[in-house]
A = this chain, B = another copy of it.
Amino acid sequence: MDETPGAVAAPADAARAASTALLTDHYELTMLQAALRGGAAHRRSVFEVFTRRLPEGRRYGVVAGTGRVLDAVEDFRFDRERLEFLTRTGVIDETTAGWLADYRFSGSIHGYPEGEVYFPGSPIMVVEGSFAEAVLLETVILSILNHDSAIAAAASRMTHAAAGRPVIEMGSRRTHEQAAVAAARAAYVAGFGPTSNLEAGYRYGIPTAGTSAHAFTLLHDTERDAFTAQVTALGRGTTLLVDTYDVREAVRTAVEVAGPDLGAVRIDSGDLLVFAHRVRRQLDELGARDTRIVVTSDLDEYAIAALAAAPVDRYGVGTALVTGSGHPTCSMVYKLVARAASDDPDAPLLPVAKLSRNKPSVGGRKWAYRRPDADGVAEAEVVGAVPPPPELAAEVERHGLLVPLVRDGKVVGREPLQAARERHRRAFDRLPMSAAQLSRGEPVIPTEYHLGSE
């Protein structure tokens, strides 16, 4: 594949929508209105993002989208047109509109940093502020984290199944056009190589790659004409697609046209295991020993693993990546876990939780650390809802998972995407080896709760 190196600095506003304020469920605003009217709107509140379980059979989750959440919080502003829409349609009254006109999130957000892994009960994000200002962020925060983390979890499994061979993200056409950009970003966090998505290159500086489709071959009178046009324009290092007609004939033509320095051939259909071996043998016989083989037909982590012994140099993954390989969303929720005991501004925080039997929640603001064993391998996710006992305090300090993301309304947790990518590699490397197993199983480490004596 022809690849770009990736643009280091994307235009500052390339990633930003005009306003994220209406990417929000109607009920956030009716709750706000009722709380403003009733007087409880300004009670200090703590909301927590967590998940009760991983998708069935998955061994770990991957936090992704954190950087996009920070952008969304900054861009959560109600302009005149949006307020006019909300009052005209009766979603809110004028008093609420007046309050929203000045809306800026002024609270604090802590969270697992992007690329980190997570488990059931991990306090992935903790949002603190008045009820009014924090409840409004629920929908957009969950949308971003649930989508991006689902893609990253699938990407991480594929990255590790590929065992060092680059995996190219090429799923844009199989998902919403903007979700595609976020999917390319999440896949990159989880170790993918380049993406086919140009907007992801433009917004986030992710390297992009791609060469040609069957249409290019069909446009020309002969396959040879197509290969000649491509090599003339893109050089011998290009990737020629060899399965439009007959693969054996195409490989011969490709090497005749480009010479033995041809960069790569791509196979997009058929039995990839058989074809990879045949094409490798043929390329070697033709002297094209350095010409790589790229395969791209309906791959997922299982198909990638099945090709481990095949002479394949790169994998291209589309549908399975952007649909989370069977799990297109996570089940993260955004729950009120503590709030001021009364309307008094100095009232202490009170843990709260609903009692519904099949959706249990643990009240109270959480801390979390990942306990390593003697070899530094993670052995438990430890989550507490009361201040850590003295014998744990140092551990929580040392191995704590929550970092500051927003402080008093100001974003403090922004980082280059590369940092999240490196963090994911390190976090995965510290998990037990069974994390790399593709088979269904329990989370690779258990979650232990410290809930105090109550």
Contact = CB atoms under 8 A, between A and B. Distances in A.
A98 to B, nearest CB: 15
Interface string A132-148: 00010011101110111
A88 B89 CA distance: 47
Interface in A5-53: 5-7, 11, 14, 17, 20, 22-31, 33-40, 43, 45, 47
A253 interface: no
Interface in A346-380: 352-359
Nearest to A218: B352
A302 interface: no
A174 B336 contact: no
A383 B336 CA distance: 55
Nearest to A335: B215
B6 A244 contact: no
Interface string A159-178: 00000000000101111111
A183 to B, nearest CB: 8
A209 B89 CA distance: 11
Interface stretch (A228-236, A407-415, A421-429, A431-439): A228-236
A412 B142 CA distance: 38
Contacts of A353: 218
A336 B215 contact: yes
Contact of A196 (B27, B323, B355): B27
B37 A354 contact: no
Interface stretch (A112-120, A198-206, A255-263): A198-206
Contacts of A89: 4-7, 201, 208
Contacts of A147: 175-177, 179
A180 interface: yes
A34 B212 contact: yes
A27 to B, nearest CB: 3
Contacts of A233: 30, 33-34, 36-38
A56 B320 CA distance: 16
Copies per assembly: 2
A138 B173 contact: yes
Interface residues of A, number: 116
Interface stretch (A79-87, A278-286, A440-448): A79-87
Contacts of A6: 89
Nearest to A131: B219
Nearest to A2: B30
A135 B220 CA distance: 14
Nearest to A208: B26
Contacts of A395: none
A106 interface: no
Given A35-B229, A43-B219, A354-B244, A30 B172 contact: no
A33 to B, nearest CB: 5
Interface of A: 2, 4-7, 11, 14, 17, 20, 22-31, 33-40, 43, 45, 47, 72, 81-82, 85-86, 88-91, 131, 135, 138-140, 142-144, 146-148, 170, 172-182, 196-199, 201-202, 208-221, 225, 228-230, 232-234, 238, 243-246, 268-270, 319, 322-323, 328-329, 331, 334-336, 339, 342, 352-359
17 contacts: A25-B196, A25-B198, A26-B198, A27-B211, A27-B213, A28-B210, A30-B211, A31-B215, A38-B233, A40-B225, A143-B172, A143-B173, A146-B174, A176-B176, A269-B356, A269-B357, A319-B329
Given A26-B197, A142-B174, A243-B356, 15 more contacts: A11-B81, A25-B170, A26-B208, A34-B229, A34-B230, A35-B216, A40-B220, A131-B219, A143-B173, A175-B329, A218-B339, A219-B352, A244-B354, A270-B358, A328-B328
